[in-house]
Amino acid sequence: MHAQVGINGDGMARARAAALDVAEAVAGLRRAFEAGRTRSYAWRVAQLDALARLVTEHEGEILAALHADVGKPAIEAFSAEIAFITGEVKHTKKHLRSWMKPERVSTPLVTQPGSSAIQREPLGVVLIIGPWNYPLQLLLGGLVGAIAAGNCVVMKPSEVAPETSKLVAKLVPEYLDTDCVAVIEGGVPETTALLAERFDHILYTGNGTVGRIVMRAAAEHLTPVTLELGGKSPCIVDRSADLEIAVKRIAWAKFFNAGQTCIAPDYLLVHEDVHDRVLELFAATVRGFYGDDPKTSPDYARIVNARHHQRLMKLLPGSGAVAVGGEADEAERYLAPTILKDVPPESPIMEGEIFGPILPVLKVRTIDEAVRFVNARPKPLALYVYASDTAVQDEVLSRTSSGGAVVNHCTLHFAVPGLPFGGVGESGMGAYHGKHSFETFSHRKAVLKKPTSLDPPILYPPYTESKEGWIRRLL
Q: Which of 76, 197, 228, 353 is catalytic?
A: 228
Active-site residue flag, 262: yes
The answer to whether the beta carbons of residues 409 and 249 sit under 8 Å apart is: yes
SS3 129: strand
Strands (E), 71-149: 103-105, 115-122, 125-129
Q: Which of 152, 180, 235, 262 is catalytic?
A: 262
Q: Identify the CA nearest to 133 among candidates 251, 228, 268.
A: 228
Length of the chain: 475
Q: Identify the CA nearest to 87 among candidates 140, 129, 162, 25.
A: 140
Pairing assessment for the beta strands 267-271 and 234-237 based on DSSP bridges: parallel
Q: Identify the CA nearest to 367 among candidates 342, 343, 399.
A: 399
Across-strand partners of 81?
A: none
Task: Report the distance separating Cα 166 and Cα 387, nearest Å.
Answer: 45
Determine the distance from the C-alpha atom of residue 468 to the mean position of all C-alpha atoms in its chain, rounded to a whole number. Answer: 53
- The Cβ of residue 466 has, within 10 Å, a number of other Cβ atoms equal to 9
Cα atoms found within 13 Å of the Cα of residue 69, Cβ hemisphere only: 26
115-122 sheet: strands from edge to edge = 103-105, 115-122, 442-449
Catalytic residues, by residue number, are 228, 262
